[in-house]
Amino acid sequence: MFKGPFEESTIKRAQEKDFLKIHLHNLRDFTTDRHRTVDDTPFGGGAGMVMKVEPIYKAINHIKEEIKEKVKVILLSPQGKTFTQEVAFELIKEKNLILICGRYEGVDERVREHLVDEELSIGDYVLSGGEIAAMVVVDALARLIPGVVGDERSIKEDSFYRGLLDYPQYTRPAEFKGWKVPEILRSGNHRKIETWRRKKMLEKTLLRRPDLLKKAKLTSEEKKWLEEIRKKLKK
């Protein structure tokens, strides 16, 4: 599952430049029975299967013994704290991460109680397994490593870097089927363009994700603009 996504684009580049090393481990390699069983029926009954604690314990120990460095153990699950850009900026400070990907209906609670440092969810929906969630986390982190994304500016200008949505972007042609690019962007007046963009970020965030504004770090000028935009929209 990991092969394709890890061999493309940002993650590929990060690995080639030796900024990132990804090691994949199959939990079945940490079993001892003939069928290499990683799941079992739940105590107390009920539908579905539960990931066993022992293979996960052995896998984590194996990795920890191998790297002999500080490592943060993360479980991907819908019960976790939501993985946001803010969490990404925290996680990128870590030297090593173990991302545990579960299948079936979940993992034995003792994994959370004794083996995991942090439980993360990539969003409120149910995936078939933690693998795609782990890939999402790896991708978001890889592009934060200095030197991986060519232009450092693009990280700072990212949507969410400042907790706001992006401003609208356009490229050539200046007119297509009568649909015009805003005149200001073609004016060459960089001060005015900058102001227009900052106001558009506020407007878009207010309209689509007002929840983000509570946390966004705004300058006093931006707070003033935001009030103006609020008034304008009420009319």
Binding residues (CB under 6 A) for ligand 4HQ: these are: 76-78, 102-103, 106, 121-123, 125-127, 129-130, 133
Cβ 84 to ligand 4HQ shortest distance, Å: 12
- Contact between residue 50 and residue 42 where contact means Cβ atoms under 8 Å apart: yes
* Residue 223 to residue 192: CA distance in whole angstroms: 18
* Residue 79 to residue 2: CA distance in whole angstroms: 23
151 assigned to active site: no
CA distances, 40 to each of 30, 55, 202 (Å): 15, 12, 50
Cβ 48 to ligand 4HQ shortest distance, Å: 10
**Helix, strand or coil for residue 207?**
helix
CA distances, 26 to each of 55, 203, 213 (Å): 10, 47, 42
69 assigned to active site: no
**Which residue of the set 143, 162, 198, 203 is catalytic?**
143
Cβ 101 to ligand 4HQ shortest distance, Å: 7
**Which residue of the set 158, 166, 168, 197 is catalytic?**
158
- Based on CB atoms, which residue is closest to ligand 4HQ, 123 or 147? 123
- Based on CB atoms, which residue is closest to ligand 4HQ, 115 or 133? 133
DSSP 183: G
40 assigned to active site: no
Instruction: List, by residue number, the catalytic residues.
Output: 78, 105, 143, 158
